[in-house]
Amino acid sequence: MKFRCERDVLDHAFTIARQATSTRGGALQVLSGLHLQLTGNDLTVSGTDHDLTIQVAVDVGGQENGATVLPAKLASDIVRALSSGQVEVTIDDDGANLSSGRSDFNLRTMPADEFPRLEPPSGETVTLDAAGVAAALDQVVTAASGDDSRPILTGVLLAPENDGLRFVATDSYRLAVRDLPGTSVLQTDQTVLVPSRALEAVGKLLSDANELTVAFGEHDATFCVGGVSVSTRLIEGEFPNYRNLIPKDHPNTLVIDRAVLTNALRRVRLLAQENTPVRLEMSADGVELIAITQDVGQARETIDAEYSGEDLTVAFNPGYLLDGLEVSSGTEVRLETIDSLKPAVLRSVGDEQFLYLLMPVRVS
């Protein structure tokens, strides 16, 4: 196997495919590698851990067809460290040789026939607007749980909603809901639960894309952007009934400049150490942010805002509140509350397509 390729092109392909390789101890060694398949001038770089698979198609100067598996991290690091220009890759019985300019590296390879056979995607394909999906993923994926002991919460629910598609994620402390009107992907009453890890990988591909092709099979989903294919197993199980979590009415409403609140919260949270929440004291005079950490100190900042309702003090995890503010659109946000213990809802003023629900923290 032998080919030549621009360093930046090969680096890009390795970086993308590497996201799907396994880093778990005890897993098959070949799953920690990148599978390279060369046919003519078409190189396919693949990574998989069985649950997530990423394949990248690259146009190269092919000289000799073949297949191999390279150690993902080491091969990626080597290619990135090479000087810009052409990289020549040669695979033979002694291993892999990567050379560029005066740099020359030799690597042990793994047998290509030990790499899992990758099945073609199943299900009918639908083409979506990349920008809309990218915005939705940016707002929702961060709310999914990273705790693998609760796999249901590590997924993002995709469900039909009115004439469009709804994205929902929760880690039981916050909930993000985003609608894409006019986007028809699923059948009526059909829902799928896609691992957030897969959607995070998809989101990274959408910044320069115009279209995203999606196919949902019975147990898998495939997302194609340009020459990159991201396939994942769907999560089995029942997603929480998130609709019951969203309060119907909020007697208290705070409308405030999003950037002003975000910057103030970043300053005040410097004193919110050791999982200390930040308190919001809301009244007709505006809102005061307070963080107090015992034996460390305290921070206070007052912000002008429009508030209607009874005077109320509510405390939040500052990181979770910042996450919601940072992915909200527009210049103003609306914080809707009931009392100090019931869920609060954050919305962008003038944008009803995104909702961020946040559980308050009990403070003495």
Cβ burial 267-303 (10 Å sphere, 16+ → b, else e): ebbebbeeebbbbbbbeeeebbbbbbeeeeeebebeb
Q: State the average pLDDT over residues 176-201.
A: 90
Does 331 score more than 90 pLDDT?
yes
Does 182 score more than 90 pLDDT?
no
Does 41 score more than 80 pLDDT?
yes
Say whether pTM exceeds 0.85. yes
Does 183 score more than 90 pLDDT?
no
pLDDT tens sequence across 53-87? 999 999 999 999 999 999 999 999 999 999 999 99
Q: What is the CATH number of domain 125-243?
A: 3.10.150.10
pLDDT at 364: 72
Does 185 score more than 90 pLDDT?
no
Cα→Cα distances 112→46, 48, 66, 92, Å = 11, 13, 9, 12
Q: How confident is the model at residue 92 (pLDDT cuts 50, 70, 90)?
A: very high
pLDDT tens sequence across 237-282? 999 999 999 998 999 999 999 999 999 999 999 999 888 999 999 9
> Which residue from 304, 298, 344 is spatially nearest to 324, judged by alpha carbons?
344
Mean residue pLDDT across the chain = 94
Rounded to an integer, what distance in angstroms lies between the CA atom of residue 280 and that of residue 286? 10
pLDDT tens sequence across 227-247? 999 999 999 999 999 999 999
Give the domain 246-358 fold: DNA Polymerase III; Chain A, domain 2 (3.10.150)
Q: Which amino acid is at 131?
A: A
- Label residue 29 exposed, middle or buried (CB < 10 Å: 0-12, 13-18, 19+): exposed
Helix or strand holding residue 364 (H, E): none
| Assigned token pair, 222 | 């495939």
Give the domain 2-114 fold: DNA Polymerase III; Chain A, domain 2 (3.10.150)
Q: How confident is the model at residue 25 (pLDDT cuts 50, 70, 90)?
A: low
Does 316 score more than 80 pLDDT?
yes
β-bridge partners, 347: 334
pLDDT at 10: 98
Does 193 score more than 70 pLDDT?
yes
pLDDT at 304: 97
CATH 3.10.150.10 in the chain, residue ranges: 2-114, 125-243, 246-358
pLDDT tens sequence across 118-168? 888 777 888 999 999 999 999 999 999 999 889 999 999 999 988 889 999
How many Cα atoms within 13 Å fall on the side-chain side of residue 208?
4
Cα→Cα distances 324→66, 86, 141, 262, 334, Å = 48, 44, 11, 10, 12
Of the given ranges (16-30, 54-68, 204-218, 238-252), which has the lowest mean pLDDT? Answer: 16-30
pLDDT at 274: 83
Does 27 score more than 70 pLDDT?
no
